[in-house]
A and B are shown apart, each in its own frame.
Chain A
Amino acid sequence: MITQFLFNGVDRRAGFVLALLVGIAVLVPVLHLALPPDSPLHVPNYAMALFGKYLCYALLALSLDLVWGYCGILSLGHGAFFALGGYAMGMYLMRQIGPRGVYGDPVLPDFMVFLNYKELPWFWYGFDMAWFAAIMVVLVPGLLAFVFGWFAFRSRVTGVYLSIITQAMTYALLLAFFRNDMGLGGNNGLTDFKDILGFSVQAPGTRAALFAATALALALCFWICSAVVRSKLGKVLVAVRDAESRTRFIGYRVEHYKLFVWVLSAMMAGVAGALYVPQVGIINPSEFEPANSIEAVIWVAVGGRGTLFGPIVGAVLVNFGKTWFTAAMPEVWLFALGALFVVVTLFLPKGIVGTVQGLWRERAERRAAGLPPVLPNPEPKPAE
C-alpha cells in the first residue's frame, strides 16, 4: 500500500526533480573525490560543504512549504524543529568524542566537565548509539510538533495568531537553550566533533558521503511530499488551505489533517537539521532565532509556495545570494534581503517557479486553443 502510495506520487515533473537530485548526490562527490584538484571540473572542498548546507536549507524549505504552501499554516518557528534535529545529532556526535576531549573525560563532554557535572544527565542516555540518535532526530521535533499542533489546531488557532505563537515557541526554546543548566552546552552549543559512525567528520570521504546523504534525503522527502500532495489527503489539505470552514462543514476532521502534515513537516525539518550539523561542525542556540525561521519562509516565498520544486530553488538561490553578498558587500545584504521580502510579496506572490509554471501552462492552453501567444508586457486595455 505504501509503495503504491509512493509510486502514485511520481509524475513526469517529480521524476525529473528526483533524477536531478540523485544525479547531484552521485556526481558532486565523484567530481570531488575522483578528479585531481587542478581539473576544471573538480569540486573543491569548501564548495561542496557550502552546497551541502544549501541542500539542508532546501530540505527545511521543502518541509515548510508542505505546511504553508499546501495547508496554509504559516510557521514562523520551523527553525525550532530544524535546531532540535540538529541538537539530537549534535548530542550523538558529542558522545562519539569519548576521551579525546580537552579534559579527557571518557563519558562527559567537555562543557559538562567545565560546568562541574558529576554524571551524564538522563536525557543524554542512549545518544552514544547511532540508531537511537537517528530515531530521536525525527522523534523529538515530531513530538513537539504533535503536542503543539494538537493544542493549537484543536482550539482552531489559525492565521496570523498561529504564526505568532509558533514564533513565541521558537523564542521560548531559544531562551531555554541559552541556559547553561539545560545541560546542552548553553550559548556555546555543541561543537568540536570528531567522528560520525566511526569515520572522521573532517575526512574528504566522510564529507562527500554526508553531501550525498543530504541530497538523497532531500530526494526522499521530495518524493514523500510529492506523494502526499498528489494523494486524496493532499487534496483535502489544499481544501483546508483555501476554505477551512467549508472543508469542516463538508465533514472532514480538519485538525487531523493539519496535525498529520504538521508533524510530518516537523520531522523533515529535524532531518534537515541533523544533516546540517555534521557538515557545519557546530549547533548552538542561535539556530532557534526567530529571524532564522522567517528567513526560511522567504526562501519558500521566493521559490514559489505551493510547488514542491520551488522551495528547493528558493533556498539555494537566496542562500547563494547571501553567501555572495555577505562576502562582497556585507552592508548591502540586509537591504537586499529586506527588499526581497517586499518585492516577492508585492510582485511575485507565486514565487519564481510558480510564475514560470503559470506562464508555461497559459502558453500550453493558448496553443491548445489555437490562440496566438501573449506578447510580453501587453498594454493594458482602457476600461469600457
Chain B
Amino acid sequence: MTQARAFLAHLLVLAALGAALLLVAVAVSRAETDLKPLVDALGGKDFARTEAAISALAATGDPRVADILRDLENRDLYVRKDDGSVVRSDAKGATPEVFDPATGASLGTVPKAVLDKISVNNRIRRSVAAAVGTLTLLNPDPAKRRAAADAVLKTRDPATIPALDAAIAAETDDGVRLRLEAARGAAVLNSDAPAADKLVAIEAVQRLDAREALSVLQQYAGADDEVGAAAKAAIDEVNLTLVFWDAAKNVWFGLSLGSVLLLAAIGLAITFGVMGVINMAHGEMVMIGAYVTFAVQEVIRTSMPGLFDYSLLIALPLAFLVAGAVGVAIERGVIRFLYGRPLETLLATWGLSLILQQLIRSIFGAQNRQVGNPSWMSGSFEVGLMQVTWSRLWIVVFALCVFFALMAVLKKTPFGLQTRAVTANRPMASAMGIRTPWIDAMTFGLGSGIAGIAGVALSQIENVSPNLGQGYIIDSFMVVVFGGVGNLWGTLVGALTLGVANKFLEPYAGAVLGKILVLVFIILFIQKRPRGLFALKGRAIEA
C-alpha cells in the first residue's frame, strides 16, 4: 500500500517536473520569438506605458532584454514614425542606419525625420535599473550579481520579490546572498506583506552596512505598529554599530597621531632622559630629516627615476646619519660646556634651532617643498566602515618598529647598557670606567638621528618647510613630560594617550579647543605627578 502511494508520489513529482520543463521551454521559445511586440511597446505615448513595457520585458527573463533596456536608458532607441516599430540608432547624419534592438541586425537606413527619440525620465531610469538588476541577478560574475542586488535594493520594488527569491535560491556566494536577502527585505518592507514577514525582513536589512541599513529602515521607524517598533529597535542597534565604528575611527586617527608624536618625541626622550638636556633644536633635526628625504627624491627624480619607490628606504639611513652628525656636532660644540646648567642649555639650543632654520631657508628657500609618496604608501583600503590610508598605516608600523629597535639597542647592546648606567648615576658610571662624555655625544647623536628618521616619515604627511620642526617641539615636550623622563615605555604610552585623547576631544570641542584642553590637562597632570606617568625612582631631592 505504502509502496503504491510512494510510486504515485514519484509519478506526480515527475509529471510536475516535466510540466515545468515544458513551461520553461515554451517561455524561452516565446521570448525568442515574441520579443518584438514588447520592444515596440516601449515606444508608448506616455511614461506609464513605457514603464509597463519595461516590466513586461523584464518578466520575460530573456538575456537580451538587459541590453535593450540599457539602450533605452542611453537614449539610443527611436520610434519609427512610418511603421511604429522601435529601432536602435545613433541618429548621426541625414540618413542614419537603424538596427533591430533585440537582434542587433541592421535594418538599413532611414531619413532622420522619420525617427522619434523615446524620452526618458528619472522614473523610467529607476525602473530600467530595477529591471536590469533583476535580469543580472543570475549573471555568472559575482561582482555583477552584487551590483545588480544593490540596484534592486535601491528600488525597493515589491515586484522584484519573485526574481530575488529565485536568485537567492541559486546564489552560491555568501556576500552576494546577504545583499540579495537585504534587497528582498527592503522590497518586502515596501510591500503590503503581513507583519511577521516584515519583521523577518528587518532582520535581513539589518545585516547590511550600517549606513545603508539606516537609510532603508528610517522610512519605517515612524509606523505605529510592531513593524515600526522593530524598525526602531533595529535602527538603535545599527546606530550602536555606527557609534562603535566612530569610536574605532577615533582610536585609529588617535593612534596615527600618537605614532607621529611618538616618532617626534622618542629622540627627545633619550636626550632629555639620559642627559637632562632640553634640546630645543630637536624639531630642527626632524626638519633636517625631512629635507634629506626631499634631497634624495630630487636626485632620484633627475638621475634614476626607476628607484623612486625605494627613495624612502634610501633616505632613512641618510637622514639618520645627517641628523645624527649634526646632533653630535651640537653636543661637542655647545652643549658639553653647559652641563649642569639646564636652563642655559635650553636657551643655547633654541638659538641653534633659529640658526638651523635660517640655514635651511637660505639653502632650500622658504616655500613648502613637495615630497612624493612612493606607490606602496599611496591609496587607502577599507576596514569595516572606516578608511585606512596606507601612509598612515605605514607610519604607525614604522613608529613601533623604531620604538622597539631603540628599546633593543638600549637593553641588549653594550652601548645601551652604558647609556642606562649614565642615566641612573653619572658619577658612579664614570667611576666604573664608562667614558661619560663619549656616551653623552653618542646618545645625543642617537636621539638626533632618530629625530632625523622621524623627519623622513613626517615628510609623507606634512608640508616640508623650514618651520616643520617648530610645530612638533611643544607637543614632543608634552609627551616626554607626560610620559615621564628616562623611561621609553612612558613615552610610548604618553604619545598614544595624547594622540587618542586629542582625537576623541575633537568631535566635541573642535580641533583647536581639543588641543587646548589636552594642554591644560597636561599642565594640571604635572602638578599631580611632577615627574610624569612613569617616573624613575630615586632619592634625589631635586633634579
Binding site for B on A (CB under 8 A): 74, 148, 151-152, 154-161, 163-165, 167-169, 171-172, 175-176, 178-179, 244-245, 290-291, 294, 297-298, 301, 331, 334-335, 337-342, 344-346, 349
Contact = CB atoms under 8 A, between A and B. Distances in A.
Contacts of B240: none
A80 B135 CA distance: 71
Q: Is the interface of A mostly helix, strand, loop or mixed?
A: helix
Contacts of B362: 331
B516 A175 contact: yes
Nearest to B343: A74
A179 B513 contact: yes
A338 B353 contact: yes
Contacts of B442: none
Nearest to B362: A331
A39 B276 CA distance: 58
B347 A341 contact: yes
A176 B542 CA distance: 33
21 contacts: A74-B346, A158-B543, A159-B542, A165-B522, A165-B523, A175-B516, A176-B512, A245-B541, A335-B354, A337-B351, A338-B353, A338-B354, A338-B356, A339-B351, A341-B354, A342-B348, A342-B355, A345-B338, A345-B348, A346-B338, A346-B348
Given A157-B527, A245-B542, A301-B347, A175 B355 contact: no
A129 B344 CA distance: 43
Given A290-B474, A338-B354, A168 B523 contact: yes
Interface string B532-543: 000000000111
A345 B527 contact: no
Given A154-B527, A155-B528, A163 B542 contact: no
A346 B337 contact: yes
Contacts of A334: 354-355, 357-358, 361
A344 B345 CA distance: 11
Query: Which of B276, B481, B520, B526 has the largest number of chain A CB atoms within 10 A?
Result: B526
Nearest to A289: B470
Contacts of A165: 481, 522-523, 526
Nearest to A73: B343
A155 B355 CA distance: 36
B343 A161 contact: no
A334 B352 CA distance: 10
Given A168-B522, A171-B519, A297-B347, A159 B354 contact: no
Contacts of A169: 519, 523
Contacts of A346: 334, 337-338, 348
Query: Which of B334, B344, B359, B361 has the largest number of chain A CB atoms within 10 A?
Result: B344
Contact of B354 (A168, A244, A245, A337): A337
Nearest to B480: A164
Given A161-B526, A179-B512, A171 B343 contact: no
Contacts of B334: 342, 346
Interface in B451-487: 470, 474, 477-478, 481
Nearest to B519: A172
Contacts of B527: 151-152, 154-155, 157
Query: Which of A155, A157, A164, A175 has the largest number of chain B CB atoms within 10 A?
Result: A164
Given A160-B278, A175-B512, 4 more contacts: A160-B276, A167-B474, A172-B523, A175-B515
A168 B474 contact: yes
Contacts of A179: 512-513
Nearest to B517: A172
B524 interface: yes
Q: Is the interface of B mostly helix, strand, loop or mixed?
A: helix
Nearest to B520: A172
A178 B530 contact: no
A2 to B, nearest CB: 33
Given A245-B541, A301-B347, A157 B526 contact: yes
Contact of B512 (A178, A341, A349): A178
B530 A155 contact: yes
A171 B474 contact: yes
B519 A294 contact: no
Interface string B287-323: 0000000000000000000000000000000000000
Contacts of A345: 338, 341, 344-345, 347-348, 351
B350 interface: yes
A145 to B, nearest CB: 13
B63 interface: no
Contacts of B345: 345
Contacts of B96: none
Contacts of B474: 167-168, 171, 290
Contacts of A244: 542
A362 to B, nearest CB: 22
A176 B517 CA distance: 10
Contact of A164 (B352, B357, B470, B477): B477
Contacts of B346: 74, 160, 163
Given A154-B527, A156-B530, A171-B474, A338 B542 contact: no
Contacts of A175: 512, 515-516, 519
B355 A335 contact: yes
Contacts of B416: none
Contacts of A156: 530
Nearest to B366: A331
Contacts of A335: 354-355, 358-359
Query: Which of A157, A158, A298 has the largest number of chain B CB atoms within 10 A?
Result: A157
B444 to A, nearest CB: 16
B352 A338 contact: yes
6 closest A-B pairs by CB: A341-B351, A338-B354, A338-B355, A334-B358, A172-B519, A338-B351
A178 B513 CA distance: 10
Contacts of A290: 474
A342 B351 contact: yes
Nearest to A76: B346
B104 to A, nearest CB: 63
A159 B530 CA distance: 11
A157 to B, nearest CB: 5
A297 B338 CA distance: 17
B515 A159 contact: no
A94 B284 CA distance: 40
A175 B541 CA distance: 35
